[in-house]
Structure 1
Amino acid sequence: MGGELKTVGEALIDILEANGVDTVFGIPGVHTVELYRGLAASKIRHITPRHEQGAGFMADGYARVSGKPGVCLLITGPGLTNAITAMAQAQQDSVPLLVISGVNVRSSLGQGRGRLHELPDQHAMMASLTLMSHTLLDPADLPAVMARAFTILRSGRPGPVHIEIPIDVMSMKVHLPRLVSSPALLPRANLAGVLDLAERCQRARKPVILCGGGAVSATSTVETLAERLDAPVVTTVNARGMLPGHPLSVPASPSLKAVRKLIAEADLVLALGTQMGQTDYDMYVDDGFPELETLVRVDIDATQLARGPNAAISILSSVTSLVDDLLTEMCEERTANGGADRAAAARAAAHAELTDKMRAEISILETIRDTLPGAIIVGDSTQAVYAGNLYFEADRPHGWFNSATGYGALGYAAPASVGASLAEPETQIVCLTGDGGLQFSLAEIGSAKDAGARVIFLVWNNDGYQEIETYMIEQGITPEGVKPSAPDFLKIAEAYCISAMRLAHVDDLPAALRRARDGGGLALIEIHEQNTVGITA
């Protein structure tokens, strides 16, 4: 057999490099050290979080911003199970994660003999939430398994992929063939479907475009399409920033009545790369999203198209190729459909629908955006983020994302912000997190320091889980368990040798943000709902 002879661990690193991987996240252990054998000599940077869940969230943030799969190296057992929450968040939000873990020696699998870090069936557990889970029993299979993994990550709806390598296989030798990057095999609509859609578009007089995270890579052509149709563009949370400041942009949730009215009145609703899931389209679980007779869905995942809502046409295609093909078949003349006026009316009505508290919180988000142009705001599940998900316009694609959608994990923002910074080292990242959520991953402030990340940790302190406390009161339940004490976050930052300040007045925020940015981009700023003057309307 031809090819260079290397250990499985060394070959793995070579394969990762050949597929464009430049960063991996993990905590080495005795169950993975052989996977690290070739790492120091490679061009791949290793980032060490304080917890494996942090590794998964870092990889998630890195993947969202870079567009490349985020990669984790994790030990068997607790290392892998610690990362399951992050993998589930990635599965819900269609984020490509490659998780490579160890597993005990082949002869012990399924035996239940009390091996260190043993699980009854690690592969079966991971198969339930991944696009692919594979146990590498034969070292010769490594190149083919990795090729399949990267093709899956780059083709169809993204999500987590898991490969486990038994400890005894890691040090075995494998002949490594000439390496090439695995291809992306993306579906494309047939010509008949494109022509049908082009005709519907040109007939429409009140079209609306819905954009999800799957449309972000086609931002420029979607803008061209929207202008040609004179169609308002409603962006879900993961698509915010696609058309910043554009007259056709409606950066508001389809859970709001005003946005639903805009959609219901349309004679063509073109849904591009959006799951149309509850956390975007029915946040209040009132079943109020309208049934649409003129809905056209475009998605990269046939299974998702089959899940509903029902559409007049379902088109299996990447958004990029569909919009390219559609523009080719449509006339270039722009149609006057009153799109800008319809979009402006929807924006105004949606904003008016919010509470005074939400509008005050959104104003602070806008202050961050306007003070730090081009910054990326990474959010946790906290009140200001909930308000922004309802109504906030980032000034760039991937400029706003958070864990308050889909899986809804707490502790996401701090490590994901580190990953985002590593994907775009010159970009300022703002980690918007609550006092409760930050304590899930507080130690990742140290990871940011170690990695040289440009992250401003903006802590929204409301003395506990205020969103849950409010909900319990509204339901007539006496609040319990919603007041976990918080440390002095400024002292925590000081302990990590990171500058920090607590705002006395909300008007001090722009100066604090600029000072943090100009001081190297790593800092902590605390806003307290009760003690920071001007924080509430």
Structure 2
Amino acid sequence: MPQNKIICSGLGLVTMNEVSNTQLKTPFGKALITCLEEQGVEYIFGIPGVHTVELYRYLGNSTIRHITPRHEQGAGFMADGYARVSGKPGVCFLITGPGLTNALTPMAQARADSIPMVVISTVNPEPRGRNDFGRLHELPDQTGLLRKLAVYHHRMNNPECLTEVMNKAFNWHRLNRPGPVHIEIPLDVISTHVGKISPEAETGIESPTRFEIDGIVEACQKANRVSILAGGGAIGSGGLIANLSERLDAPLITTINARGIGKGSELSVPISPSLECTRNLLEESDLVIALGTEFGPTDFNIYKSLPEIRFKFLIRVDIDETQLTRGPKADIAVCSDVVGFLKPLLELLPTTTRNSRGRERAKQTIEEVKSILSPEEMNYINIIHAIQKELPDSILVGDSNQISYAGNLYCHIHKDTGWFNAATGYGALGYSVPAAIGASLADSSAPLVCLVGDGGFQFTLAEMGTAVDEQVPVNFVVFNNLGYGEIKNYMINQGIEPIGVDPLPPDFEHIARAYRIPFARVRKPQQLINILRQPIQDKLPRLIEYVEKA
């Protein structure tokens, strides 16, 4: 028999057999890129670093386009915006330590809003007995930190698990409540080789049984005043929900992350359940069907002024079984995605449309909300409606700012993914600029309007450079009130002397000039509409300053 000769190579001291086996395998970085291509990944958001260069070795020859933000927080928010519009996970490549911690805020926002995100980072090799070696980008316990935040976390100690782990990461949002998934790759694994790469067949969540659906059909037929409540988990099923709403003559109330579902219907009630008029509509219904909503306080009691909501009869549908045990107790709880619930229900429900004054109830609620909102709030809402009228297919991406707060209370939106912002559960500032870039990459045909305050704009102002690099035609509308106006008003209302709320904004015209992009300054809503009416030229973003305070 031939000797199993020991030789020296770039892999260290190995046998001839081991060299032969290695040649039959795929470098880890190439295998990872192949997995991402097979999962349909279009974009990766990230900033290369010494720890991640092996992930980039094979990226240039792939079908995936790399987007370079100016900060990893921007990478995370871009992935978020892309995911909301495309319906697919946004993907980030991040370095060990600071690159990853810079993206914790976007990951937290994505977790709060159930947005699918796959974050792939490197990590230092397992320490032996201590964590404070002083290695580059070292954290005391990176794995422990991310386990707390990610909805699914995996440390890739065994490279042969790559395909299995990537399949689980990308199928997570289809089978569970979506959120940020984190895969970390130790530096001593990233330069290894991988065997067979084979994506698993996609599986689906179980649909409700015929027995469950029969009971729900019976409840629907017995009820005289049905209302439907749609949350962010219902995005992508708007046509089915509108069909159900019509058949049951049921007003359709949408939470912040579901705005646009029911667009154009006389049964649509795009009003926050935190307002008393919406709360009354729900509590007066003898049946409420809640689809994909967590019943969180930012949607249902933002002002902490209302008692716990009480339903006469509640059917609740959620993909997360644990979520069904939180919040209001359901009379019928169904663990399913919304589409898997609605399709069999609509097949069994009578196709005739009933008349239970649903349109009248919806119209009355909308008239009531217009009378209780402040003139300032209605002014912002009218701006939103004017933008929608001028650009009916537009996507409006907001920040934690006054116009977003007003629109979250009430606004009509023309498409399922046409309205989203950070003024929800986590409430991060600086979200809208990078999120709008990600949204534009997901749907370049839709007019993009970013609604941001001068305070929040300065958090991620540098991402204007990314918008220029990637030629995304986004209208960045900066509402300039010379500081953190919303917080300042809150402090005054609480009897607190405003401190720390008047940061000096930059000269926005000079900012536009520095990035060589078009600029306009307006002071009235119609002036803004006139600018938005003009097509964006040369695939460049446009900066518009809306002066609210001289």
Shorter-chain TM-score range? over 0.9
Aligned to 2:13: none
Equivalent residue of 1:302, what SS? coil
1:185 Cα deviation (Å)? Answer: 2.6
Aligned to 1:534: none
Which of 60, 74, 92 does residue 112 from structure 2 map onto? 92
User: CA separation in 2, counterparts of 1:261 and 1:12?
Assistant: 52
1:182 Cα deviation (Å)? Answer: 5.3
Aligned to 2:437: 418
Equivalent residue of 1:452, what SS? coil
Aligned to 1:306: 325
Aligned to 2:394: 375
Amino acid at match of 1:238: N
> Which deviations, in whole Å up to 9, do the C-alpha atoms of 1:56-89 show, x marking residues without a partner?
0000000000000100000000000000000000
Compared CA separation, residues 517 and 182, structure 1 to 2 (3 A)? farther
Contact 1:106 1:137 in 2 (8 A): no
Deviates more, 1:140-149 or 1:322-331: 140-149
Contact 1:151 1:183 in 2 (8 A): yes
1:320 aligns with 2:339: yes
Equivalent residue of 1:254, what SS? coil
**Correspondence 1:53-92 to 2 at 5 A:** 53-92=73-112
**Correspondence 1:210-289 to 2 at 5 A:** 210-289=229-308
Compared CA separation, residues 146 and 182, structure 1 to 2 (3 A)? farther
1:451 Cα deviation (Å)? Answer: 1.0
User: CA separation in 1, counterparts of 2:140 and 2:129?
Assistant: 8
Deviates more, 1:95-104 or 1:291-300: 291-300
1:200 aligns with 2:224: no
Compared CA separation, residues 327 and 485, structure 1 to 2 (3 A)? same
Deviates more, 1:511-520 or 1:1-10: 1-10
Unaligned runs of 5+ in 1: 532-537
1:142 Cα deviation (Å)? Answer: 1.3
Aligned to 2:14: none
Aligned to 1:394: 413
Compared CA separation, residues 139 and 282, structure 1 to 2 (3 A)? same
Contact 1:472 1:479 in 2 (8 A): yes
User: CA separation in 2, counterparts of 1:478 and 1:401?
Assistant: 32
User: CA separation in 1, counterparts of 2:24 and 2:85?
Assistant: 35
Aligned to 1:458: 477
Contact 1:4 1:176 in 2 (8 A): no
Equivalent residue of 2:534, what SS? helix
Contact 1:63 1:95 in 2 (8 A): yes
Deviates more, 1:487-496 or 1:38-47: 487-496
Contact 1:103 1:164 in 2 (8 A): yes
Which of 519, 524, 533 does residue 505 from structure 1 map onto? 524
Amino acid at match of 1:70: G
User: CA separation in 1, counterparts of 2:60 and 2:129?
Assistant: 30
Compared CA separation, residues 110 and 514, structure 1 to 2 (3 A)? farther
1:516 Cα deviation (Å)? Answer: 4.8
Structure with greater Cα Rg: 2
Contact 1:156 1:187 in 2 (8 A): no
1:441 aligns with 2:442: no
Amino acid at match of 2:386: T
Aligned residues: 530
Identity %: 49
1:105 Cα deviation (Å)? Answer: 2.8
> Which deviations, in whole Å up to 9, do the C-alpha atoms of 1:229-272 show, x marking residues without a partner?
00000001111111122100001111111111111110001100
Aligned to 1:353: 372
Contact 1:112 1:120 in 2 (8 A): yes
Aligned to 2:153: 133
Compared CA separation, residues 237 and 298, structure 1 to 2 (3 A)? same
1:108 Cα deviation (Å)? Answer: 6.3
Amino acid at match of 2:328: P
Aligned to 2:503: 484
Amino acid at match of 1:375: S
Equivalent residue of 1:162, what SS? strand
1:199 Cα deviation (Å)? Answer: 0.7
Which of 180, 185, 194 does residue 174 from structure 1 map onto? 194
User: CA separation in 2, counterparts of 1:25 and 1:346?
Assistant: 42
User: CA separation in 1, counterparts of 2:533 and 2:380?
Assistant: 19
Contact 1:403 1:410 in 2 (8 A): yes
Aligned CA-pair RMSD: 1.6
1:332 aligns with 2:361: no
Equivalent residue of 1:525, what SS? strand
User: CA separation in 2, counterparts of 1:521 and 1:109?
Assistant: 53
1:367 Cα deviation (Å)? Answer: 1.3
Contact 2:523 2:548 in 1 (8 A): no
> Which deviations, in whole Å up to 9, do the C-alpha atoms of 1:395-445 show, x marking residues without a partner?
111000000001100010000000000001122111100000011100011
Contact 1:255 1:289 in 2 (8 A): no
Compared CA separation, residues 348 and 186, structure 1 to 2 (3 A)? same
User: CA separation in 1, counterparts of 2:471 and 2:161?
Assistant: 37
Equivalent residue of 2:183, what SS? strand
Aligned to 1:187: 206
User: CA separation in 1, counterparts of 2:376 and 2:44?
Assistant: 40
User: CA separation in 2, counterparts of 1:365 and 1:294?
Assistant: 35
Contact 1:9 1:37 in 2 (8 A): yes
TM-score, normalised by the number of residues in structure 1: 0.96
User: CA separation in 2, counterparts of 1:113 and 1:120?
Assistant: 10
TM-score, normalised by the number of residues in structure 2: 0.94
Equivalent residue of 2:139, what SS? coil
Contact 1:204 1:267 in 2 (8 A): yes
Unaligned runs of 5+ in 2: 1-20
User: CA separation in 1, counterparts of 2:435 and 2:129?
Assistant: 33
1:495 aligns with 2:519: no
Deviates more, 1:331-340 or 1:222-231: 331-340
User: CA separation in 1, counterparts of 2:307 and 2:404?
Assistant: 22
User: CA separation in 2, counterparts of 1:287 and 1:68?
Assistant: 36
User: CA separation in 2, counterparts of 1:453 and 1:289?
Assistant: 44
**Correspondence 1:518-533 to 2 at 5 A:** 520=539, 522-531=541-550
Equivalent residue of 1:494, what SS? helix
Aligned to 1:114: 134
Compared CA separation, residues 508 and 306, structure 1 to 2 (3 A)? same
Contact 1:428 1:521 in 2 (8 A): no
Aligned to 1:148: 168
Amino acid at match of 2:334: I
Deviates more, 1:321-330 or 1:94-103: 321-330
1:16 aligns with 2:7: no
> Which deviations, in whole Å up to 9, do the C-alpha atoms of 1:468-501 show, x marking residues without a partner?
1111111111111111111011211110111111
